[in-house]
């Protein structure tokens, strides 16, 4: 049982880095983000049980912080919280899935309408570049491909400058990841690159109606590529280690 790390974060850094006024990244936030990413990237599979103490141990924090993260993730629909029975990765029903996609379509249509004609050349270029990345990742068919096609939609939402819209799109998007993990077929590329290209074109042209329609069809297409697929579990410890490290946490 190693408890010696309680002080390492506070005093271990010392004054090595001077002049750098870095925001004190609260560890609760790190835990939240680590779990969130782990769920979205499907390292933690839908329905998987999430015991507070093993997670905390693995992430190098106490149950308190894990619990706080669970609460927030529950609001976002990524985690289910059953009284006295603990947390588990959300396992949306087909009906919930339908709801999520429907709302997402509505939200992203809003995004499209908002962006149409307002896209700066810089932004357009950024989107193009992103799609190129997608295209490249698509070839080698890794998990990168999935992440990138999701990020495209997030980028669009960011560009509206509407923080709430961004949050909702992010949330809906996260939940879609879960849903596809359950009901999607193993290696379906969520988004077709060509559809993203068309969309950018419509936005650039300022054709709001067409952009909205394209977005709508695009997301419907994503849904259409859905089927049932089995998945196996791994040990929570192995799964979480990379996330802990990437958030600067210290696993036991």
Task: Output DSSP code: residue 225.
Answer: S
For residue 213, state whether it binds a second copy (rule: CB under 8 A): no
| Residue 7 binding partner per list a second copy, DNA, none, with a CB distance cut-off of 5 to 8 Å that depends on partner kind | DNA
For residue 37, state whether it binds a second copy (rule: CB under 8 A): no
| Coil vs helix vs strand at 198 | helix
Task: Output DSSP code: residue 201.
Answer: H
What number of helices (H) and strands (E) belong to the chain? Answer: 11, 3
For residue 224, state whether it binds DNA (rule: CB under 7 A): no
Half-sphere exposure at residue 168, Cβ-oriented, CA atoms within 13 angstroms: 18
> In the bound complex, what is the minimum distance in angstroms from residue 174's beta carbon to DNA?
22
Sheet arrangement for strand 79-82: 49-50, 86-89, 79-82
The smaller minimum CB distance to a second copy, of residues 102 and 141, is found at: 102
The smaller minimum CB distance to DNA, of residues 139 and 235, is found at: 235
> In the bound complex, what is the minimum distance in angstroms from residue 80's beta carbon to a second copy?
13
> In the bound complex, what is the minimum distance in angstroms from residue 221's beta carbon to DNA?
38
The rounded distance, in Å, linking the Cα atoms of 162 and 149 is 21
| Residue 2 binding partner per list a second copy, DNA, none, with a CB distance cut-off of 5 to 8 Å that depends on partner kind | none
Task: Rule CB under 8 A: choose which of 39, 172, 208, 215 binds a second copy.
Answer: 172
The smaller minimum CB distance to a second copy, of residues 145 and 160, is found at: 160
| Residue 106 binding partner per list a second copy, DNA, none, with a CB distance cut-off of 5 to 8 Å that depends on partner kind | a second copy
The rounded distance, in Å, linking the Cα atoms of 33 and 39 is 10
29 close to 68: Cβ distance less than 8 angstroms: no
Enumerate residues 30-89 that contact DNA by CB under 7 A.
50-54, 60-65, 67, 83-87
Strands (E), the chain: 49-50, 79-82, 86-89
Task: Rule CB under 8 A: choose which of 5, 75, 209, 245 binds a second copy.
Answer: 75
> In the bound complex, what is the minimum distance in angstroms from residue 114's beta carbon to DNA?
34
Six token digits for residue 204: 């650039």
């Amino acid at each position: 049982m190693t408890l010696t790390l309680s002080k390492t974060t506070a005093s271990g850094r010392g004054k090595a880095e001077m002049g750098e006024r870095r925001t004190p990244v609260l560890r609760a936030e790190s835990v939240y983000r680590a779990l969130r990413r782990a769920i979205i990237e499907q390292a933690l599979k839908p329905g998987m049980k999430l015991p507070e103490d093993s997670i905390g141990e693995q992430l190098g924090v106490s149950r308190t912080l894990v619990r706080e993260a669970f609460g927030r993730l529950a609001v976002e629909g990524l985690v289910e919280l059953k009284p006295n029975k603990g947390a588990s990765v959300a396992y949306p029903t087909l009906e919930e899935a339908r709801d999520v996609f429907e709302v997402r379509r509505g939200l992203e249509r809003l995004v499209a309408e908002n962006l149409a004609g307002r896209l700066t050349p810089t932004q357009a270029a950024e989107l193009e570049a992103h799609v190129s990345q997608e295209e490249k990742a698509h070839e080698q068919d890794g998990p990168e491909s999935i992440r990138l096609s999701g990020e495209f939609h997030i980028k669009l939402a960011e560009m509206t400058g509407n923080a709430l819209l961004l949050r909702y799109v992010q949330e809906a998007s996260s939940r879609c990841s879960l849903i596809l993990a359950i009901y999607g077929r193993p290696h379906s590329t969520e988004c077709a690159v060509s559809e993203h290209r068309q969309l950018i074109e419509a936005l650039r042209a300022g054709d709001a109606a067409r952009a909205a329609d394209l977005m709508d069809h695009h997301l419907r297409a994503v849904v259409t590529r859905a089927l049932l697929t089995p998945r196996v579990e791994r040990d929570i410890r192995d799964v979480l280690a990379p996330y802990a490290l990437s958030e600067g946490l210290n696993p036991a």
